[in-house]
Amino acid sequence: MPKQGYAGPLERIDDCCWRIPQSYKSGMRVEGRIFADERLMEQIRADQAPEQVANVAFLPGVQMASLAMPDIHWGYGFCIGGVSATDPAEGGVISPGGVGYDINCGVRLVRTNLNREEVQPRLGQLMDVLFRGIPAGVGVGGPFLFDHKELRRLLAEGSPYLATRGWATPDDLEHTEAGGCLDGAQPDFVGKRAVKRGGDQCGTLGSGNHFLEVQVVDEVFDQPAARTMGLEKGRICVMIHSGSRGLGYQVCDDSLAALRKAPAKYGIELPDRQLACAPVDSPEGQEYLGAMRCAANYAWANRQLLMWQTRELMADFFGRPWESLQMELVYDVAHNIAKMEEHEVEGRRRVLCVHRKGATRAFPAGHPDVPQRYRQIGQPVIIPGDMGRESWVLVGLPGSMEKTFGTTCHGAGRVMSRTAAIKHAQGRRIDRELAEKGVIAKCRNWKGLAEEQPEAYKDVSVVVDVVHRAGLAGKVARLRPLGVVKG
């Protein structure tokens, strides 16, 4: 993460939005817009993420504005929290930097009928069981092994393939974004090394900011929406955050190498080579999309298998089938992805390539892509916090379609690099500090907890407050962490 801050212009539009004028840099095709309030602006100015918002405005075919959510921080090419929609009909491009290395990193929430009172006395034992039973850590494989033929089907079909193996229910698929599968996935476009890395990692947590967290519904703000989701104050939930593991990372790495010369080939001038891109309709663009969709499908299958293992472990621990525990999927959302979606721009419906990097889809009530169960309230939006602070459940609002191509934030957003966080944690026991807050933290090593300490992140409640006030997503429930498993 760059140490120097952003020194360019930021003009206030309203209480929750700021503008980088198109005149800031010659070559910007649209303005930049950052959703934030004054509380967050000091942190946002501290690195070069706003500069990246301006750079994304150079992309051919970009529509309306280059956008950033309040959890914005510096990333590869696009900032984390960056959103951009391009129109293929106007030469619009696809950029791997607008998706990220961990393709379809995302989060899912599982509710239960367990109350805090019955779980708290056994919480330590439960976290030991989950820590031993959920594969986690760098390069760690899991119990689900797929041969070449099976893996090709998984890449092409995602979670629906798992349903044919008995590892997913129709309800699971219904409450996963896109049904757990992006059409148009092309396994032939996934390199051999990526395939090799994915052979034994589906159903594993990984490392970094990925986690499995046991939480309690701490407060409900929208009773009808919470009731529809099956969330009640005092009830236990499980949140799972993971992505496409080594397979997705390799797909991104291979694609960036393949696209290195594409901008020059298509006469595209960019201010940052990390924004390497190609027209959506070009052979290079279609190859990346085909491979990216495979990695996205892999990630949905990964979270599905993580949930399946969690169900089995908790069923055994509590001595009741998971169905009896009502361990049902509330929703699963992606937050590193590019999707072809229909949106209205300047009064005209267009099919756009929407990049969401560290950003979450937030479609409102009535949208046809929202599952029938939630059609009247809007799509569930899941915003995890850090290990020591709350996470949030929201619903998409109409303002998201008007302002952000149906998008909101994806988390709290880092304020410290991992290197800085480790330095800040020297001489401390993060696990003991979390225990003093009532959170049991299980991790493979000290470094993992140090990198993800609460101080490394913005206050998620402030971030969520901005998207709520901006009309992008509405608060439904606050969830407090009780125990967390990290790689």
> DSSP readout, 288-342?
HHHHHHHHHHHHHHHHHHHHHHHHHHHHHHHTS-TTTTT-EEEEEEESEEEEEEE
Residues constituting the chain: 487
Q: Is 410 a catalytic residue?
A: yes
Q: Percentage of the chain with pLDDT > 90?
A: 88
Listed in sequence order, the residues at least 6 apart from 200 whose beta carbon sits closer than 8 Å to its beta carbon are 141, 142, 144, 145, 146
In this predicted structure, what is the pLDDT of residue 2?
Answer: 57
Does the pTM exceed 0.95?
Answer: yes
In this predicted structure, what is the pLDDT of residue 388?
Answer: 86
In this predicted structure, what is the pLDDT of residue 197?
Answer: 93
Q: How far apart are CA 402 and CA 344, in angstroms?
A: 8
Question: Of 367, 410, 424, 468, which one is the catalytic site residue?
Answer: 410
Hey, CA dihedral for 400, 16, 386, 105, is it positive or negative? positive
Mean pLDDT, rounded, of the chain:
96
Q: How confident is the model over 112-132, as a mean pLDDT?
A: 97
How many CA atoms lie within 13 Å of 344's alpha carbon, on the beta-carbon side? 8
Q: How far apart are CA 101 and CA 349, in angstroms?
A: 30
Q: How confident is the model over 310-334, as a mean pLDDT?
A: 98
Stretch among 102-106, 180-184, 224-228, 434-438 having the lowest mean pLDDT? 434-438
Question: Is residue 307's pLDDT more than 70?
Answer: yes
In this predicted structure, what is the pLDDT of residue 168?
Answer: 98
Q: How far apart are CA 55 and CA 2, in angstroms?
A: 16
Q: How confident is the model over 55-70, as a mean pLDDT?
A: 98
pLDDT class for 403, splitting at 50, 70, 90? very high
Question: Is residue 232's pLDDT more than 70?
Answer: yes
Q: Percentage of the chain with pLDDT > 70?
A: 99
**201 token code pair:** 């990692």
Three-class DSSP category at 398: helix
**68 token code pair:** 């950033």
Q: How far apart are CA 45 and CA 68, in angstroms?
A: 13
**67 token code pair:** 């956008």
Domain 11-486 class, CATH top level: alpha beta
Stretch among 298-312, 333-347, 431-445, 471-485 having the lowest mean pLDDT? 431-445
Hey, CA dihedral for 229, 233, 235, 236, is it positive or negative? positive
Q: How confident is the model over 175-201, as a mean pLDDT?
A: 96
Domain ranges of the chain: 11-486
In this predicted structure, what is the pLDDT of residue 418?
Answer: 86
